[in-house]
Each structure stands twice: as C-alpha cells, then as structure tokens.
Structure 1
Amino acid sequence: MKVVCVGSGYVGSVTGTAFAILGFPTIIIDMDGRKVKEINEGISPIYEPGLASCIEQMVNASRLSATQTYDCVYQADVVFIAVGTPSKPDGAVELKYVRSAAKSIGEHLNPSHFTVIVNKSTVPVGTSDLVASIIEEVSGLENNRHFAVVSNPEFLREGYAIEDVFFPERIIIGSGSPKAKKVMQSLYKPLLERTNYAELAEHLTFASNHAATKTVLFETDAKSAELIKYVSNAFLSVKISYINEVARLCDSLGANVNDVSFGMGLDTRIGNKFLQVSSGWSGSCFPKDTAEILSESQKYGSELTLVKAAIDSNISMHDYCIQKIQRSLTSLNSKNIAVLGLTFKPNTDDARHTQASYIIGKLLQLGANVSVHDPKGMSMFQQMNKGLQIRYCERPIDAVAGADALVLLTHWDEYRLMNWETVYKLMKNRYVLDTRNFLKKLNLSELGFAYEGLGLH
C-alpha cells in the first residue's frame, strides 16, 4: 500500500516516517517548502529524540519523501490528515486546515481506486462526517464507495513519540465502513505483529522494554473514536490538577506531597502516572484539548464541570508559584529572576502554550527582570512570545548570574547536573523554587540555598 501524510508537524512527521519503516512507500505533504526540503535531505523538521536518524534512514532507502503538491494522492491507498487544529479564542476548534486538506484531497482522488482518508489530528466529534462531505462535494465521488473517512487519533507523547508509535498501548479505528476497516487492519498489521523492526534495532534502544507488551486494536464508530482522544487528555489534566491541589494542601498542613502521591499510586485503581507535581499542565495538547472539549460540552448542554474545574485549578497553580516567589522576595520590582525550562516537559522543543509563558508574563508585569534558558525550546518560545521582554541565555549558568531567584519549570537533566556550588557563588539572593521537586535530592539547603519545592516539608 502507498501512504500519504498531510502535515509534517509532531504528528505528521512521526506518523509518515513510521509507516515508511513498516515497509510502506510514504510521501509527506506540507506547504512549507523549508520543511519539505529538509525531509528530502534526510533532516527532521522537528526535534524529537530518535526521529532524525529514522528519517535519514528512510529517505536513503527511498521509502520516504516530501512534496508541496497533492498529486501523490491519486496513487495513494491511505491518506492521513495530520494538520494543525488550533483553538479559537472561545475555545472552539479551528478546522480551516482540515477543511483545506479535505478539499485538496478531494481534488486529487482517483475515481477508480478506493482510498481511505484518515483523520489523525485531534478533531471534534463529527469531523469525519465534515471531511467526507467536503470530499464528496469537491470530487463528485460517493462516500463509502469510492472513498471512506476513518478516525484514527494519535496518542504520541512528545519526547517519546518514536517509542509510542512502534509500541502503542492501543490503536483506535473509528469508521462505519467495513472496507476501510480492513485497509486499516492491513496497514497496522506489521506494527501489531512487530515485523520490519529489525532495521531499527540501532535506533529502538528501548525495544527490549516492550518485548512482552501487546497492542490492542479497538474498532468503534467515528464519533466515539474522535471523543476518546479528547476525554483521555481531559482526564489526565484533571488528575494533574488534583495532585497539584494536593501539593498546595500539603504546604498548608506540613505534609510531603511526594510521599502522598507515592502512596496514592500504589493503589492500582489510581496508578502512579500523572501524579507528579508541577507548576501546572501546559503544552500544545492539554490546554487546547481541554478548552475544546469543554466548549463542545457546553454547546450541547452537557458541560464537563470537572474539566472546567481542572482548567481553573491549573491557572491557580501558575499563580500559586508566582505567589511563592513574591513571599520570598517581597517585592519583585527590579528583581532578577532566572527561569530554567521553557518547554512543557523535557526532550522536546515544543514551547507552545507553556506554563513558562504565563508565569514569565506575570513576573514581568510585577516589574521583574527575567533571564531564561532551555536546551531545545528557546527558539520556538521566542517566536511564540515576541511581546515578552526577556533575556535569552545560551547557557543556564549565564541565566543565573546575578539572580535574586532561580525558578525551575522544566526538569531537564542538565539542570540537575549543573555545578550548584558555582550557581551559589553567581546568584545574588540564593532563593530556588523547584516547581517539579526535581532538585530535592541535591540537598541544596545544605549548600546555603533557600530551597523551596511544591508540597515539601
């Protein structure tokens, strides 16, 4: 089968490369000429651990290429739509890129060849029907006869996307077309049976950890599949907001949130995942998905009040971290604050809609001078936050020089490995706020720092 993937972002580039590795000739479509050129030269258009070598390998094997045109759709068996679906100011989903992709696909479909169009992007319930109607109108072809639309949501974790794409916990296929489901079953067969993985041995260093794991292929209708992605992310957001509220309670009561979360996680009904304290959830998925599913639920008179509460609680957690800094420094006017970490988590360069944007913005409003560092995310953060007057530093040590406070927002390993005796000498006032409780084992208080975590005593 021949695969086409529309979009070369975090989902599209990983998905397209994965199917090339699984043995399918794959073409990625993107309107950005720079990204197309990079892929065709074997260069990854995004930062994702392990992806660059995989793209290079597949391009050299002539199984992966990129283009700016939709001509390749005519020969395709499966076309993935993996374009951006940003949120509008009111929380609803902006589907203009999905609509545009559907229109272009419809203009290039082969009328004598059955084609499966797959919604891989996170989209609201009913988008499969929307895509089908656009393609029918543009092409004049009949849905479920000449083509079919399938919902196949992605569950890739940035920083672990290669691992997740080859060893997923579940694959969701939503469609009312038996023919389309058979095509998708064939497409995922090499993944389910773990075939064609041999050539990836040098890249899949984590493969041995998944030797005994099984992937569940679950088939349902399109609307249920579309909803599964949203409610999954919303539930995880609720879980994070909950443990962050518990951390605030621990601060008030003198308890230790690390021990509390560990004890909770021992209950198999709860589990230990997503019980790690932070300054709040953020990034390109959780804020967008929670806002969109909340907007959708309100539109249909079935408001998800728990999701609404989680969103409100998350903003409160951002503010709580700022209040901690204020309590330590009293006034933030003209104080120098060093912020380490701009991405929403380590091992990604994704700095879209992160907690850093909110917290740094508030610090600036309170009169602080802010210096920042991030190993991978500074370029995107600067592009996304052009209005913030901050100093970008190539080294973390440069950010902390002369600082009245150091705020760790993202738990990159290199921050734990810094020479903290040097950090102590360079800082003006040795206050450290560790919003991840990541530095606790370093015993910074013994070095003379005024160290503070979240929910720690």
Structure 2
Amino acid sequence: MNVVCIGSGYVGSVTGTAFAVLGHPTTVIDIDPSKIDLLNAGKSPIYEPGLDQLVRKYIGKTLFATTSYQPVHEADVVFIGVGTPSKQDGTADLTYIKKAAELIGAYLHPHRFTVVVNKSTVPVGTADLVTAIIEEASGLKAGEHFSVVSNPEFLREGYALEDVFFPDRIVVGSNHERAKNIMRELYHRLVERVSYEEISKDFAFPYNPLTPKAVYFETDVKSAEMIKYASNAFLAVKISYINEVARLCETLGANVLDVARGMGLDSRIGGKFLQVSSGWSGSCFPKDTAEFLQTSRKYGTELSIVKAAIESNRKMHEFVVEKIRRRLKILNGKKIGILGLTFKPNTDDARQTQASVIIQMLLDLGANIRVHDPKGMEMFKAVHPHLHVQYCASAEDVAHQADGIVLLTHWNEYLQLDWKQMLSIMKTPYLLDTRNFLPKKLLIGLGYQYEGLGIGTEQEIDGGIMNQFSVLSV
C-alpha cells in the first residue's frame, strides 16, 4: 500500500520508517527542508536509538521524503503526525492539523478512495474537523472519496522503535467499513509479524519472537480519540500518586522503593510507572493532561483527579527545590550543577521538562546553574533561551566549585562518572538524586552528603536500580 506520513517529528519519522521497513512504499512529508534533507541523506531528524540505522538502509528504497504534498495524490493511507502544542489556556493548538488537512484536501485523488489517519494526539471531535476541512479544500465527499479515522500513537521516546514494531495494542477508530478494511490490511504485516526474522536483523534491540502479538482493537472515532488522553492522564495520575507517597515516606521514615515494589507485586496495580521522580514532564503528559482537563471543564464534567495530579506534580517540583534550599540554606550566589535536561533518558526531547521548571525556580532564588545532558542540551538551549545557565561539555564539569549537584535524568552515562574526582572539585559535597538511581552506600563512603526522594536520610538502597558499585569510576 502507498503510505504518506505528514510530519517528520517523533510520530511521523518513526511511523513512516516502520511502514517502509514492513515493505509499504512510504513518503514522509515535512515543510521544513532541513529535516527532509536529513532523511534523504540517510539520517533521522530526531534522536531515537536505532532509527538512523533503519533510515539509512531504507531511504530511496521503500522510504522517501519530500516537502511536496504531491505523493498524497497516489496514497492509499495518509497519516497526520504533526505537532499539537498547548495554548496558554491548556487546550491543544490545532493549527498544524488544520493546515495539513487543507493541503491533503488539495492533493487528494478524486478517483481513488483514501484513508486519512489522525495519528497525532488530538481532542475528541478532531476527526470531524479534519473531515470538514478536507471536504471544503477538495470538493470531494467524505465516505465516498475519503474517510478520516483515528489511530493514536502510543510511542515512548527512547523506546519508540520497540513500541512501533511490538505494540501492546493498535487502536483504530472508524465508522466506515471500507476504511476499516484498508487499515486492517495496512497493519496485517505488523500484527502477524510478516518477515520479522529478516527485518529484525536491523533492530537496535533484541527480537523476541515469543513477545505477545498486538491486540488489534477497533472502536468508533471519538472513543479512539479519547483512549489516548485517558491513557496518558491515568499514567500521570499514577506517577503523581507515588510521588506523593514518596513525600509521606520521607516524613514517616519509610522507604518508598520498598513501598512501590510491594504495591507493584499486586497484579491489579503492577510495577510500571511507580518510579519516583522530580515530577512527570515531557512532550506528552503536560499538554495531554491540560487538554483533557480543559475539555472536561468545557463540557461541565471536570476531571478532578486529573486536576489533582497536575497540582501534585507542581508540588513535586517545589518539593525538590525545597530539599535543596533546606540543605544549602540561602541559595543566592550558590553554585548548583544539574545532571539531565531531558524528561527521560535515551531522547533529546527537552521541550517541557522538569529540569526547565526546577532550574527556573533555582535561578529565581539567586543560584548559579551549570548543566549537562548527553543528548538534550542543544534542544534545551533552543526552547529555553530565557534560562541563563552554563552548558558543560562534560558531566564532570558541573561539579566545579559546586555547592551541590542534582541528578534529574537517570542517564546510564551518569553511573560511569568519576564521582571521586568530582567530589574533589566541589565546594560542598551535597548530591540530590531525584531518581534514587545512584549507589547511595558507595557515594556516602566517598564523602558525599547524599539524598534521594522518599528514602529518608539513613535508609540503605538494597536491590535498587544499581547495586554493582564496581561500574562506577572511583
């Protein structure tokens, strides 16, 4: 089938490359020529482990890239994967969706049936909006010449290729039988893992043929649109809950690592998304929860639990800053090193991260900030030019004359740092590990004043994420 993906961001690049790998001639369209030039040169326009290798192999064969919408004319399926950033009031900005729909309408073939797929995370009712725009731009009739369906993405940045080739579920929302049939045919190779033994040789992750097959779930359009928001909001609620439990654990002297593990052993709860942090952030959770809450308010059915999760998340950011202030007292003129700017490891996405919020609070208190991130510094600098911080080429540099170091993102690279050498150049040996990621016992032995979140000041971390102290450079 001829596939087109509008947008070359995290959704479009990964989705387009995946269908090309599966043998569908796929064209990625983006109005940014620099991104298209990268794709045509065999390079991914985003950082995603393993994506460069696939783009390099399939570009010019089954994967193509252009700034022109002409390929829409011959497409069987057109995915819309453009950005939907938040407006000031928290609602989704559909400017790019509307523009994509208008251009799709201008290039639709009048004598073939085309399925237009909303892959971006969009509010309930967006399929109707896109349908109306395409009808007006094309002069064609929905249901006869084209149909708009909802097929939300569930990709985790840093693990997007695993998620696209081995999804838990594929949700397709459509009220049109012909469109449903086309989508079933499109996803057949993925669901049935056709030729996976061969194509998996190019995967940057291990291929396990015993992994359960994806559930192909069909529903109506509005329910599909709702599923994505409801899913992300639920995960945000779960993270906010365990972070609140962590704050209570600190007060009562309990260990949140054991509490979370004990909770997760209950199959009704599960252990995923029970990892304590300085708060959830990133390109999805903040905007999706804000839109979901605003929609509920708009229609008089406020999602009070989502509202509470958003407020709790803000308090978690403040809690981290308060821990630093309690330890270092007056922060005016203090030098603080920050490790990690992206909202999670294995991505360069630094758009709406906990780091930006926490750094702003520290700057407001007069602190001088030095930062490092293995992949995210370029984007962080571009999207947060108002944050006057010093960017360090190496992680060790954040320790220079520092009154404290704060680990915000648990990159594996930070386990390999020469923590003994870093200690020797710090002014005050304070280390706040907001992910309970580093080996507390060893660091205390080196002379650090180590603090985590929700583990108290004297608790030992046994069986945590890192017990093999030998991997640290000491």
TM-score by length of 2: 0.95
Distance 2:228 2:206 in 1: 25
Show the 5 A alignment for 1:354-373. 354-373=353-372
Show structure 1 runs of 4+ deviating over 2 A.
Answer: 196-212, 440-443
Superposed displacement of residue 207, structure 1: 4.2
8 Å contact kept, 1:338–1:407: yes
176-185 or 411-420, larger mean C-alpha shift = 411-420
Question: What residue is the counterpart of 1:417 in the other structure?
Answer: 416
Counterpart of 1:351 in 2: which secondary structure? coil
Distance 2:207 2:137 in 1: 47
8 Å contact kept, 1:23–1:196: no
Question: What residue is the counterpart of 2:381 in the other structure?
Answer: 382
Show the 5 A alignment for 1:45-84. 45-60=45-60, 62-84=61-83
Show the 5 A alignment for 1:58-137. 58-60=58-60, 62-137=61-136
Distance 1:245 1:6 in 2: 40
Question: What residue is the counterpart of 2:245 in the other structure?
Answer: 246
Superposed displacement of residue 196, structure 1: 2.9
Across the aligned residues of Structure 1 and Structure 2, the Cα RMSD in angstroms comes to: 0.9
Q: Residue 166 in 1 paired to residue 165 in 2? A: yes
Superposed displacement of residue 28, structure 1: 0.5
Residue identity matched to 1:82? G
* Deviation string, structure 1 residues 82-130 (Cα, Å, up to 9, x no partner): 0000010001110010000000000000010000000000000000011
8 Å contact kept, 2:192–2:213: no
Q: Go from structure 1 to structure 2 and tell me whether the alpha carbon gap of 1:394 and 1:210 turns closer, same or farther (over 3 Å shift).
A: farther
Distance 1:403 1:262 in 2: 34
* Deviation string, structure 1 residues 371-408 (Cα, Å, up to 9, x no partner): 00000000000001101110000100111111000000
8 Å contact kept, 2:260–2:274: yes
8 Å contact kept, 1:136–1:142: yes
Percent of pairs identical after alignment? 62
Q: Residue 35 in 1 paired to residue 16 in 2? A: no
8 Å contact kept, 1:30–1:67: yes
Distance 1:77 1:300 in 2: 36
Distance 1:342 1:227 in 2: 30
Distance 2:209 2:354 in 1: 32
* Deviation string, structure 1 residues 229-260 (Cα, Å, up to 9, x no partner): 00000000000000000000000000000000
Superposed displacement of residue 205, structure 1: 5.0
Question: What residue is the counterpart of 1:219 in the other structure?
Answer: 218
Aligned length: 456
192-201 or 311-320, larger mean C-alpha shift = 192-201
Residue identity matched to 1:319? E
Superposed displacement of residue 209, structure 1: 3.5
Q: Residue 44 in 1 paired to residue 44 in 2? A: yes
Q: Go from structure 1 to structure 2 and tell me whether the alpha carbon gap of 1:416 and 1:442 turns closer, same or farther (over 3 Å shift).
A: farther
8 Å contact kept, 1:167–1:210: no
Residue identity matched to 2:43? I
Distance 2:399 2:97 in 1: 44
Distance 2:68 2:207 in 1: 39
8 Å contact kept, 1:20–1:58: yes
Question: What residue is the counterpart of 1:322 in the other structure?
Answer: 321
Residue identity matched to 1:293? F
Question: What residue is the counterpart of 2:140 in the other structure?
Answer: 141
8 Å contact kept, 2:119–2:153: yes
Distance 1:410 1:91 in 2: 26
Superposed displacement of residue 206, structure 1: 3.5
TM-score by length of 1: 0.99
Q: Residue 22 in 1 paired to residue 22 in 2? A: yes
Question: What residue is the counterpart of 2:470 in the other structure?
Answer: none
Residue identity matched to 2:42? G
Counterpart of 1:443 in 2: which secondary structure? helix
Distance 2:47 2:370 in 1: 23
Distance 1:180 1:172 in 2: 14
Superposed displacement of residue 137, structure 1: 1.0
Q: Residue 445 in 1 paired to residue 444 in 2? A: yes
Give structure 1 stretches of 5+ with no counterpart. none
Q: Residue 278 in 1 paired to residue 271 in 2? A: no
